[in-house]
């Protein structure tokens, strides 16, 4: 699997995990199955690509390093989550989209 596909898969997982609620880094890492020692991995491979696409934002961007920091989906992230949900339903019905492992083939602009 090439790097671009791996990054896209991680972004999709992060968007699905965040869902419609704000979550702390610890919560997100736990659900994603990442060790707390791998914060750099989390930021580089999940958070940076998702924020670069405008899908995820900090709850308190004016205080990026406060312990209570939480992450939530932006309006674009919520639209993307909805798109993923529709594609997942289409896959379950056996129509429409192809599945490559966890990755649903889609395009983020």
CA–CA separation, 29 and 11 (whole Å): 13
Contacts with 52 (C-beta within 8 Å, 6 or more apart), sequence order: none
Q: Which domain holds residue 33?
A: 3-104
Number of domains forming the structure of the chain: 1
**What's the CATH code of the domain at 7?**
1.10.10.10
pTM for the complete prediction? 0.78
Flag whether 109 is in a domain.
no
pLDDT in tens, 71-95: 999 999 999 999 888 877 776 666 5
Q: How many Cα neighbours within 13 Å face the side chain of 19?
A: 6
**Helices (DSSP H) in the chain: which residue ranges?**
3-18, 25-32, 39-42, 48-52, 75-93
pLDDT in tens, 47-66: 999 999 999 999 999 998 89
Flag whether 55 is in a domain.
yes
CA–CA separation, 2 and 26 (whole Å): 28
């Amino acid at each position: 699997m090439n790097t671009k596909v791996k990054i896209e898969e991680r972004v999709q997982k992060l968007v699905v995990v965040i869902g419609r609620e704000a979550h702390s880094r610890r919560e997100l890492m736990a659900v994603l199955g990442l060790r707390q020692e791998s914060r750099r991995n989390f930021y580089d491979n999940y958070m940076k690509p998702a924020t670069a696409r405008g899908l995820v934002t900090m709850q308190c961007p004016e205080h990026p390093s406060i312990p209570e920091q939480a992450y939530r989906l932006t309006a674009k992230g919520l639209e993307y989550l909805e798109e993923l949900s529709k594609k997942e339903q289409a896959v379950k019905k056996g129509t429409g989209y192809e599945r490559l492992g966890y990755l649903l083939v889609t395009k983020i602009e």
